[in-house]
Structures are given as structure tokens and as C-alpha cells.
Structure 1
Amino acid sequence: MKKIMIVVLILLILGGAGAGYYFFFMQEEAVEQETAETDELADEQGQMEPLEPIMDLSVPVEQTDFYVMERKIPVVDKPNDDGLIEGFLYKGEYVEVLEKQNGWARISDYIVFEEGGMEIAQWVSLDGLVTEEVIISDEEKIEILDSYLVKSDDLKLHLTRFRTAIDTLMKAGDCKPGDFEELGGWVKSVTYQSSDVYFIYCGGLKQDNKIYLNVQTGETFKR
């Protein structure tokens, strides 16, 4: 009986060793196969042509964002000094430049008023523009506001109210600097004789464009 158990034990030991050898051999073969596949894939990738970049970073991006540097620059209908003045831009205003031509910047789309006619756009001199946002100091701001008030009625009496009203209307987008240049400031209203009320036109010279200011309360309103 003991001899039989010893024989069985020897067979089990030999079988386990064989299984271990088989497992080790198969694992080593699998690793070698995976390594060979990895090397083959690397070779294929090395033979592939390099991908071209989506964007050509060597080409500089054209600057289109500008700000008015001068106190006031004219807007003309063609890119030269003989152009007809159509308006003005004022210090600190943002400008998108659509085209540059001989020192001039186009700031509007082209327009043709009649079939077969010449294309017309709005242009400003690049000399009056800068790429960095323009910061206006408090002192210069007061100076600029006062330049819009030089012909105001009763200017010395209501200077502070006039300044504040102009600043508020421009910040709200209701008025632009050019509006105040039409009349040179605030005009005494004869409609409101019982109150200290003055008016200015913003956006045109019609009744709907008339803005009133009560200097006693600082209120601006339309009729």
C-alpha cells in the first residue's frame, strides 16, 4: 500500500512540473509574439509620411482691431486726402479695419449707389489709429467734455450739470460726440419757461432727436 501511494505521489509531482513547464513556455512565446507585433507596428508608423499641420502658423495673422488715438479724425469716402469727409471718429473709439491701402484703413463694406457706378467705402488714415486700447485720463476727459459745451447757454451757471449729462448720454449710446458739435452745447428751451430746461439733438435734427435736460434735477428726457 505504501509503495502504491509513493508511486502516485511521484506521478503527481512529475505532472505538476510538466504543467508548470508548459505554462512558462507558453507565456514566454506569447510575450515574444507581442514584442514582434509591436516592433512591426512601429516600423509601419515610421514609414508613414508626417502629418501636415492644419494651420500654417508661419503666416502672421492680420491685425484688424484698432483704436482712435487722435482727439478727432475724419472719415472720408476714398483712401486719399481729397476724399469727401462723411463724419468723424473720436479718441478711444474702437475700429475694425477691413482693408489697408497706402496708409489708409477701410472701416466699412463697399457700396454701389447705382448700377455700373463706382464702389465707395469709408476710410480713415492709419496714422490716427493704434492697436492698443486708448485710456483717457480723468483730466483729459473733462477737457474733451468741455470742448463740446463751448456754445452752451448759461454755461458758467450749469457747467457741472452739462458735463454730467453729456457723459451719461454718451455712455448710454444715446449720443455721440458729433451730436454735440452740431449746436456747440446745450440750448435754453422756451417750451419749459417755468423750469431750467435745456436741449440738444442726438442722431438727427428732428423733434424725435431732441433730448432735454432739467439742470435742477439732472434728469434727461424726451417729449
Structure 2
Amino acid sequence: MGNIARLVLSVRRLHMLRRTIIAISLILLSAKVGIAGPKEDCTLALEHLGFSTSRYSFIEAGIFAKERHVFDDVINCYISHDGQIHSITRGTTVLMEDGYYGPEALAKRSEIEEQGRALDSAAYKAYQYASKQIEQNTERDLEALRRSSSPFGNNSASKAPVAAPVEPSAAAPEPAPEALPEPIPQPDPASGKERWSTAERLTIRTCPSTQCGVTGWITDGSKVTVYEEKSGWSRIDEPHSAMCINGNSGMVDSGNAACTPANGIVDGQFARWVSSDYLANEKPEAPETAQGCGDLELDNSDNYRRYSNQFCTAALKMINDGTCKSSDFREWAWSSSPAKGQDYYFTYCGGIQPRNRWYLNIRTGAITH
């Protein structure tokens, strides 16, 4: 029995020793993990970017501000609430943001996002065109089915009346042949002249006349290239597809949509025209940047000359309440919103999906999602 007791005691001692070793290991591991933190992460990131980290200071986070680690008095490393690096700046220059380190990566990100927006816009236009075709074809097939299933068949009651032919009078003169439309001249890019819009919304039309269809507008300060001038009108681009479906152009937003030469559409193509009265030879002078908005590049906004103060006030409010980041406005300034109306401008914060879109009412200052 003595041997058994000694064996049990040895086993108990081994278990106690094992627990002690595990406890010491956990303590050492915790100490090792505790070595790393926001300051060390910022230091590693700055050394990766090639900057000195010799001088250091810490600024504690406030209610609305992020924790900040300052290196060499000019480099700020911001820490988000989850302890991760949010962004790094050197003065007004962004060195890191959203996990993209260095100016090259940030520039490449902007390039990729710009390409994505262009592809998204082209895909949406193609979708609209295809959707209209599908709708027209569906209506045609349904109408054919309705007629074929009708108990009245194809009798005269279901048809539009046909007028009797009119015999021409012997004394009637022969009608003059209709003049063929002149082809739209292909512009020479080298001959284009730069002009700038001076109207808050300068209407774009399919031909040089107020009777022609409206295809959108350009805002104050926007640059255009004029390829041709005619009777107080300026042609601002090359001929391109009018997307004609059943005789009407899918590119016309309002007014005359007929795919006819009288509407400036020849062989399914048209060029855009604007009134020359609202084009200036020199770029209009922009107002001074409002205080606090110097690094937001809001001067890229539509109608910035007219609404610079409203754009700045709204942007600062959205940055201060955490809705947007400064980089959001540098990437996507305020743009006019044809869909919402003349008083509305929009921007994107945190992405370019519909859920990231915010609207500003320029008259009331109201910001809505």
C-alpha cells in the first residue's frame, strides 16, 4: 500500500507541475501579445512607408475624434475604435487609408474605382436600351396574342379604317422633291475650341434649335469642346448613336424624341448642341475655398461657383458626425441630381452603391439619405 500511495502522490505532483507550466506559459504569452499595440502598429506602418519615427507624441481620442499618434510633429496616425489603423496623413497628404498604403496604391485604387464607375455607367445604359427593346417586343407579342385569341378575328371591326385613295388632280402641280438631309460632319479634334458654361444648367439638345429634343444639361463652369458653330449654337461632341427604338431616340430625356433629320438624328446618329450665348472663352473664376474645406477638393463640384459655401458647410457637417471621410469628397464631389430635381446635389460616402448616396438640398441645406 505504501508503494501505491507514493505513486498516487507522484502523479498528483506531476499534474500540479503541468498546471504551473501552463499558467507560466499563458502569462508569458499575454505579455508578448501586450507588447504590440496602436503605437507599434503605427511605427511599423510608417517605417514601411519610409518615414522617420524618432519623435513621438500621443493625443487621446475625444467623443467625436479618433485616437491619434503623432510622429516627427507632422505625421498623424489615426486609430479607429476597434484599435486598428484608420488612416495616416502627413499634413494634407494622405499616406494610408482603408488599408491602402502609399500614394501609388491610393492612386491605383482611385483609378480602379473610376474604371468601375465608367463600366457601371456603360452597363446601365446598355441595360436601359435592352430593357426598352424587351418591353417593346413583349407588348408586340401580347398584342398579337390578343388579336389571335379574339372571337372577332381579323374582321374590319378590329382594324383601323383605311381611307380611300385620292386621285391626283390634273391641274395639281408636281410636289417639289424633298431635300435630302445633309450628313452630320465628322469633327476634327484638332479644330475643337475649349469653352466654359456660364449657366447654372445649360440645356443640351439633339440639334441647333429649341424645337429639338433635350438630352441633359451641363452645369456652371463645365468645360466643353466646340467643334462647330451655327446660328448661335455650338456643337460640343462627335456624332454617336441615338439608340433609336421604333422611331424614337432612347437618348432624349424630354421634348422631341423622333429619330428624324429635323431632330438632328441622321442614320441613327446625332451630336449634342448648346446655346453659344452661355459659353465663355475663358474659364470662369472660382470663389476662394471656404474655411476648413481646403483639402476636400470641392471645387470639382457641379455649380461650385454658385454654391461653394453650401457644399463646404454640408461636407464639414457630414465629416464631423462620422457620415463621411475627407477622402470621400476628394473622390466624389457634389454632383447635380437630374432625378431628384434642380435643387438637389449628391455625393457618395464609403462606397458607390445606392446605400452610400447622400443628397443635399441646396436651398434648405437638408441632407437626406
Q: Which TM-score band (shorter chain)?
A: 0.3 to 0.5
Q: With CA pairs under 8 Å and 6+ residues apart, which has the higher RCO, 1 or 2?
A: 1
TM-score where L is the length of structure 1: 0.42
TM-score where L is the length of structure 2: 0.28
